[in-house]
Structure 1
Amino acid sequence: MDRTLLTILNLLPKNLISRFIGFFANLPMSKTLIPWFAKRYNINLEEAEKDISEYPCLNQFFTRHLKAGVRPIHQVDNPLSVVSPVDGKIAQMGEIINGTLIQAKGLDYQLNHLIGSTMEAEAFQDGYYMTIYLAPTDYHRMHHYASGFIKKMRVIPGQLFPVNVLAVNNVRNLFPINERITTYIENKIGQKSAIVKVGATVVGKIKLAYHKAESNKGLAMAKTFETPIEVTKGDELGYFAMGSTVIMLFEKDSFKVQASLKAGDAVQMGQDLGHFIDPNTQKSNSPAK
């Protein structure tokens, strides 16, 4: 069955289908699907900013804002703390060894292929990564995981395979062949990190809060900001117009993960993921117990 489904996925015009579904999800008639969608995916409507009847279309509901305060930001004033940028499930996490990241058991991929630039990948050689998968039930806005400055960004067109368990366990180099937008951030003590937003089937768009670039247009772009964009932990980074995956990247010896976290754990936006390690003190500035 898995082989048959993968064959069908390979043959389907995934990008075109995703554009069509994205177009439909913005039509007023799609509003009729909102109650079904909310029930099907057991969405917590108590967290939504508006009543379900107030959303004019399915996409507006899918990319809904949450009520103020329902996602508190861990140690919001600590410049070294790192929080989850999204609601989702940790799919994989660990050290980047010889430029290799793990996709699933028996499958890995190369950092430079994910980044789309050997030069930019150098910053994260032997560093740390964390992959978080967003299911349809999750809140689909992304927020900044740390305070700092956006130095550059890169948009890489590609395929739109699904990023669910079936695809992750069977499609080689899934993340490097799918569409993605990478945001590069430098914290206030100069440590580099990045967040790779990966497109997927039915993801009509990946949109950014800090730039007009978006996915699923077939346009590649790389931009370095002459004036870096200052961001604060918890600020909105963008959103997925349907579910997908983010991959966080950190430089070697710059990040210490929260000890209790493991692959398979569910996380919420604003939750503690770990801490940058201050090179001046060689301490992670971990929170007080």
Structure 2
Amino acid sequence: MDRTLLTLLNLLPKNLLSRFVGFFANLAISKAFIPWFAKRYKIDLNEAEKDIADYPTLNQFFTRHLKAGVRPVHKLDDPSNVVSPVDGKIAQMGDIVNGSMIQAKGLDYQLNHLIGSTLEAEAYQDGYYMTIYLAPTDYHRMHHYATGIIQKMRVIPGRLFPVNVFAVNNVRNLFPINERIITYIENKFGQKSAIVKVGATIVGKIKLAYHKAESNKGLAMAKTFETPIEVQKGDELGYFAMGSTVVMLFEKDSFKVNETLKPGDAVRMGEDLGSFINPNIKSNKPAN
């Protein structure tokens, strides 16, 4: 059965299908599916910014904002604290060993393949990573996990395999195969981190709040900002149009995870993930 499903996944025109679903979800007719979608995925409508009847399309409902205050940001004024950028479930977490990270039991993948650069991967060798999966039921806007500056970004076209449990457990190198958008952030202490947004089947778009680049257009891009972009923990980073995954990367000896967390735990945007450590070894002031 697994072999048959893998064959079907390989044959499925995933990118084209995702574009079509994204197109449909932006049509007025898709509004009729919102009540079914909300019931099917048990979405908490009390958190939504608007009444369910006020969303003109399925995509606008799916990428909805939340009411103010329903996702408080842990230690908002503490630049050493790191929070979850999304609602989701921790799939994997741990040390980056010899440039390798765990995808699932018996499957790993290479850091340089994930971010598309051996040079950029050097900053995170022997560092720490955390993978968070967003299911359709989750809030799908992403927020900044730390205060600092965005120095560069990269868009990497690719496939759009699903990132559900079956695919993660069976498709080798799943995250490096799929489309990715990477945001590189330097905190106020000069420590580097990155967040990799991974596309998936039916994810019509990954969109950013700080740049017009988006996924599923087949266009590769790498950009270093002449004037780094200041960001505040909790600010909006972008959104997924349907469920997907983020992978967070931290430099060696720069991050201490919240010891209460483990794979399988559900997290919400703004909740405590851990802290930057040795924050006084470097100094960095965001550009004005």
TM-score, with structure 2 as normaliser: 0.97
Query: Helix, strand or coil for the counterpart of 1:153?
Result: strand
Cα drift, residue 281 of structure 1: 7.3
Instruction: Tell me the residue number matched to 1:83.
Output: 83
Instruction: Tell me the residue number matched to 1:158.
Output: 158
After superposition, give the CA deviation of every residue in 1:88-123 in whole Å (9 maximum; x if it has no partner): 000000000000000000000000000100000000
Within 5 Å, give how 1:1-289 maps onto structure 2: 1-280=1-280
Letter in 2 for 1:187: N
Q: Partners of 2:8 and 2:279 in 1: how far apart?
A: 50
Q: Partners of 2:31 and 2:147 in 1: how far apart?
A: 37
Query: Helix, strand or coil for the counterpart of 1:149?
Result: strand
Cα drift, residue 249 of structure 1: 0.1
Query: Helix, strand or coil for the counterpart of 2:227?
Result: strand
Q: Report if the CA contact (8 A) 2:91-2:133 is conserved.
A: yes
Query: Helix, strand or coil for the counterpart of 1:90?
Result: strand
Q: Which consecutive residues of structure 1, in runs of 5 or more, have no partner in the other structure?
A: 283-289
Q: Partners of 1:220 and 1:180 in 2: how far apart?
A: 10
Query: Helix, strand or coil for the counterpart of 2:184?
Result: strand
Letter in 2 for 1:174: L
Q: CA RMSD in A?
A: 0.9
Q: Partners of 1:281 and 1:182 in 2: how far apart?
A: 26
Q: Partners of 2:246 and 2:271 in 1: how far apart?
A: 15
Letter in 1 for 2:154: R
Letter in 2 for 1:194: A
Q: Partners of 1:149 and 1:279 in 2: how far apart?
A: 16
Runs in 1 of length 4+ with deviation above 4 angstroms? none
Query: Helix, strand or coil for the counterpart of 1:97?
Result: coil
Cα drift, residue 3 of structure 1: 1.8
Query: Helix, strand or coil for the counterpart of 2:60?
Result: helix
Number of matched pairs: 282
Query: Helix, strand or coil for the counterpart of 2:92?
Result: strand
Query: Helix, strand or coil for the counterpart of 1:253?
Result: coil
Letter in 1 for 2:77: D
Instruction: Tell me the residue number matched to 2:286.
Output: none
Q: Which consecutive residues of structure 2, in runs of 5 or more, have no partner in the other structure?
A: 283-288
Cα drift, residue 167 of structure 1: 0.1
Letter in 1 for 2:16: L
Cα drift, residue 80 of structure 1: 0.5
The share of aligned pairs that are identical, in percent, is 84
Q: Report if the CA contact (8 A) 2:189-2:280 is conserved.
A: no
After superposition, give the CA deviation of every residue in 1:127-186 in whole Å (9 maximum; x if it has no partner): 000000000000000000000000000000000000000000000000000000000000
